Amino acid sequence: MNMFMASQFTNFQEFLQMGGYAGFVWAAWGIAFVAIVGLVIRAYQHEKFWHCEVEKLEAQLNQKRQAENENP
C-alpha cells in the first residue's frame, strides 16, 4: 500500500517540492528544527557540566573534612 495514500501528496518528489514552495517551507522548518536541537543540546550540556562540578566540589570538601577529622 502506498504510504502517501491519505496524504496530500502522491509521491515523495511532490512532497519535497511542496507545490513550488520548497525553499520557503523547508527553510522555515529547518530553522525551527536547528533552533530546537541547539537549545536542547546546550541546556543538556549546561546541566551536565554543573552537575559534574558540584560532585567534584562535594568530593573535595568531604576529603578535606576527613583529613581534618583524622589529624585534628
Partner 1 sequence: MFNYLANPDRFMRFSKIATPIFAVLAVAILGYGSVWSLAYAPADYLQGQSARIMFVHVPPACVAFSAYSVMAGGSLVYLVWRHNLADVAANAASGIGATFTAVCLLSGSIWGRPTWGTWWVWDGRLTSMLVLLFIYLGYIALRSAISDKQKSASAGAILCLVGAVNIPIIRYSVVWWNTLHQPAAIIRKGGPSIHPEILQPLLFMGLGFMLLFGALLLLKMRALILQNRAAVLAHRLLDEIS
> What's the rounded Cα separation, in Å, for the pair 47 and 57?
15
Contact status, residue 26 vs residue 18, Cβ threshold 8 Å: yes
From the CB of 15, what's the least distance to partner 1, in Å? 6
From the CB of 35, what's the least distance to partner 1, in Å? 5
- Identity of the residue, 13 or 64, whose beta carbon is nearer to partner 1 in the bound complex: 64
> Which residues of the shown chain bind partner 1 in the complex (CB under 8 A)?
4, 6-9, 15, 18-21, 24-25, 27-29, 31-32, 35-36, 38-40, 43-44, 46-47, 49-51, 53-54, 57-58, 60-61, 64
Q: Which three cell numbers stand for residue 47?
A: 546541566
The three-point CA angle 48-49-55 to 5° equals: 90
